[in-house]
Amino acid sequence: MKSACLAALAAAPLLCLAQNPAANTAADLLPVSAASVALDPVIVTATRTPQSQSNVPSATIVIDRAQIEAAQAGDIAELLRFNAGLDIGRTGGPGQTTSVFIRGGESNHTLVLIDGVRVNPATSGGAALQNLSPELIERIEIVKGPRSSLYGSDAIAGVINIITRSPEQQQIGASVRGGSYGTVDGSARYANQIGAYGFSIDTAQQTADGFPACAGADGNSGFRNNTINAKATADLRVVSLEARAYNAQGKTEYFDSCSPLFGLNATAQDFRNQTLAVSASTSLLQNWDTTLTLSRGEDRVRQYASDDFTRTIRPQIDWQNTVTVLPGLRALFGGQVTNERIDALSFGSVTKQTVDLVNGFLQGQYDDDHHHVLLAGSVLNHDAFGSRFTYNAEYGYDLYTRPLYKTTLVIAAGSGFRAPDATDRFGFGGNPDLAPERSHNAEIGVRQRWGAFQTWDVRAFRTRIRNLISVEFDPNNDPNVDFGFRAVNVDRAKNEGLELTYRYADTRWSGTVTGIVQNPKDRSDDTSLLRRARRSVTAQLRRELGRFYVAADVLGTSDRADISAATGADTKDSGYVLLNLGAGVKLPQGFTLSARVENLLDRDYQTAAGYEQPGIAGYATLRWDYR
């Protein structure tokens, strides 16, 4: 851990020294506009409207297409893990259940969207991150902190919005990736824009033999995933139309338990994750834009060894209006009407439920040369829990501004809400008397733009959660059905912490260093929340060398509290350091060849007790793009 901290913190001054010390102007290295794009991308998720990242008071992360391609990742968890404060818990290798914990929140406290459409299942909460192929993704936007005021239930710890690739001028592309653990992936893309009409289709096929997911088990846990994403657009002057379809389905092999008491039995499941959407946008007045989106999401899992299955179908209507009231002052209002249909069978417990949700939101934004204000509130009506109010209040003040230099003070507060899902209430170990989880978050920070190439962001945050849902042993529960386990509301949980982000970008070097110190606690017994590190540091570095590039990723994390998969007793996942190295070269005729070594130090580590993680591994990708 100390070595990782030293390596990551050393990266910041090294990036500073990468800048030509004799340069007096930004033009000596690159056009200022190019650096501005790299350091200040446009983000939509934080406010539901396009806005420069530097004008958004909330803490955000943007992972762009160049970073995605350089990472050569098998799923988006590999992209997220090299950002401190996003803890990943994975029960094995490729395709195994994967969770993300943002700022110490639960995995089901993170709302995951695909092109703005919710994909969290209503049966188990956490989205299936392991099934999302990076090849179909244009960028990923992450907002830390509650956003229930804009997106409703589940957005307690943060929001991850996965934005898929879209139509553009004619493009044909393909890629093949292969490497360790029997990995063979392929993708293909076609996109074209002809006048007012656009169309794109992307496909990806992923296969891996994997390795035994459980420590001490025999037999590999394989994975197969076939994904397709299609978009069609039409700009008819009066109205703009878009249709989208995303579908991922395949098979995951796994062990039904990592406890020798129950036997290490290999089994498998089929899965399907799908979103369909059509939207229409128009201007009702010169200063009033409106968008209506109809969507349908489906999450389905079917077991091989039993009749167990889960299925969520979620049709939704989303209406959004943006009104420019005065220069710098915008109002956003709208709402969602959602119908969740849940059908599941788990360990003999049958769940069949329909839930109606109606959410209305109102947001005001003001931006001028020094002030950046956001006030948002919503009322969510859940047919089982009544009406709930959530809010966000954020303010950024530019204390010092001049070309390429800006110091911004930030203060923010917000609340979140999560209704218990169907499994919490009626599934295995369920409790129909559960109350909804509620959170309150406050943070202060300083953001510094330092010249054309560097930014700093320092945040201190504090989160309080009431009615946190946890599974505990209850001797009064039916041991013949639920083995005595039962979902309960923990009175209170909290997390306090400090996080730092440093970014650098010029024509040759780019990099990000992040670090976090936090203390996620269950206040009912003063124990640490499971699978969340108290300290972690990450560094991502990239160097352009003409047609070549080299890259390095470093992750260091402290130990994490956990529960032994073998005995059920309290344990700890040891801290670890990961080092990944990559390189690539642009070849003639639109070809690119890249290679990557992961876990170069060959560390033996676990992110979920009892479940193995990959050792040293190598991958190579051949990519072709024709425009």
Tokens representing 179 are 């490497």
pLDDT at residue 36 in the model:
56
Q: Are 309 and 345 contacting, i.e. CB atoms less than 8 angstroms apart?
A: yes
Q: Residue 261 class from Cβ within 10 Å (0-12 exposed, 13-18 middle, 19+ buried)?
A: exposed
What distance in Å separates the CA atoms of residue 159 and residue 233, rounded to the nearest whole number? 26
A 10 A CB-CB count for 363 gives: 21
List of residues 6+ apart from 235 with CB closer than 8 A: 196, 197
Tokens 């060849």 map to which residue?
A: 593
What distance in Å separates the CA atoms of residue 96 and residue 599, rounded to the nearest whole number? 18
Q: Which of 619, 615, 153, 222 is nearest to 379 (CA)?
A: 153
pLDDT at residue 126 in the model:
83
Which domains does the chain carry?
Answer: 2-37+194-592+601-613 (2.40.170.20)
pLDDT at residue 27 in the model:
30
Three-class SS state of 396? strand
Q: Are 102 and 495 contacting, i.e. CB atoms less than 8 angstroms apart?
A: no
Region of residue 350 (left: phi > 0; alpha: psi -120 to 50; beta: else)? beta
Q: From the first residue on, what is the mean pLDDT of each consecutive set of 10 residues in the chain (627 residues)?
A: 46 44 35 61 94 92 92 92 93 93 93 95 86 95 96 93 92 96 97 95 97 88 97 95 97 87 84 97 96 97 92 96 95 96 86 92 94 96 93 95 90 95 84 93 96 95 94 62 74 94 94 96 90 96 95 96 86 95 96 97 94 95 94
Three-class SS state of 505? strand
Q: Residue 22 class from Cβ within 10 Å (0-12 exposed, 13-18 middle, 19+ buried)?
A: exposed
As a residue count, the chain comes to 627
* Phi, psi dihedral angles at 17 (to 5 degrees): -70, -20
Which residues make beta-bridge pairs with 539?
Answer: 513, 554
Tokens 């080299």 map to which residue?
A: 550
Q: What is the DSSP string of 190-227?
A: EEEEETTEEEEEEEEEEEE----SBTT--S---EEEEE
What distance in Å separates the CA atoms of residue 45 and residue 66, rounded to the nearest whole number? 20
What distance in Å separates the CA atoms of residue 51 and residue 280, rounded to the nearest whole number? 21
